[in-house]
C-alpha cells in the first residue's frame, strides 16, 4: 500500500510525495503497545483516567489556541480550519487528534 502526500513549494507549485510502505507492519507496534498498556490499565485505572483527562484538557487548550486567530478577526462560529493560517490549521488538527486519544483512553479505562 502506498500513501500520497501533497504540498506546495515557495513558488506555489504543487509537489507530490509517494510513501511506499507495508501498512501491515503497524500490527506489531500496536500489539506491543496493547500488551503493555492493557494489563497496566487494569492495575492502575486512576492513573490512566488522569492521563485521559490531561489529554482532553491539553487538546481543548490547543483548540482554543488555534481558534484564537479567528476570534481576533471577529469570527465566532466556524467549522473546520478553512479560514485559518497553516500553523493554526495544524494546531487545530493536532488538538482534535490529542482529544481523540483522550476519549479512546477514557473509553478503555474502567474506574470501578
pLDDT tens readout for residues 56-98: 999 999 988 888 888 887 877 778 777 777 888 888 889 999 9
Same domain, 21 and 74: no
In the chain, pLDDT over 90 holds for what percent of residues?
Answer: 17
Same domain, 75 and 56: yes
Same domain, 106 and 62: yes
Closest C-alpha among 86, 88, 67 to residue 76: 67
In the chain, pLDDT over 70 holds for what percent of residues?
Answer: 83
Cell numbers placing 57: 484538557
Question: Has residue 15 got a pLDDT over 70?
Answer: no
Q: Exposed, middle or buried, 71 (CB in 10 Å: 0-12/13-18/19+)?
A: exposed
Same domain, 76 and 89: yes
Same domain, 48 and 36: no
Same domain, 33 and 67: no
- Number of structural domains in the chain: 2
Q: Name the pTM for this structure.
A: 0.64
Same domain, 100 and 71: yes
Question: Has residue 3 got a pLDDT over 80?
Answer: no
Same domain, 37 and 53: no
Measured CA to CA, the distance from residue 97 to residue 101 in angstroms comes to 6
Residue 19 lies in domain:
1-43
Same domain, 34 and 53: no
Amino acid at each position: 500500500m502506498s500513501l500520497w502526500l501533497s504540498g506546495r513549494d515557495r513558488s506555489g507549485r504543487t509537489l507530490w510525495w509517494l510513501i511506499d510502505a507495508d501498512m501491515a507492519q503497524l500490527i506489531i507496534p500496536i500489539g506491543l503497545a496493547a500488551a503493555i498498556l492493557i494489563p497496566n490499565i487494569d492495575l492502575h485505572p486512576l492513573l490512566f483516567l488522569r492521563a485521559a483527562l490531561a489529554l482532553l484538557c491539553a487538546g481543548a487548550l490547543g483548540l482554543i489556541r488555534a481558534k484564537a486567530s479567528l476570534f481576533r478577526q471577529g469570527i465566532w462560529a466556524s467549522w473546520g480550519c478553512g479560514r485559518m493560517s497553516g500553523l493554526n490549521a495544524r494546531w487545530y488538527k493536532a488538538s482534535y487528534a490529542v482529544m481523540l486519544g483522550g476519549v479512546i483512553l477514557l473509553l478503555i479505562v474502567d474506574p470501578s
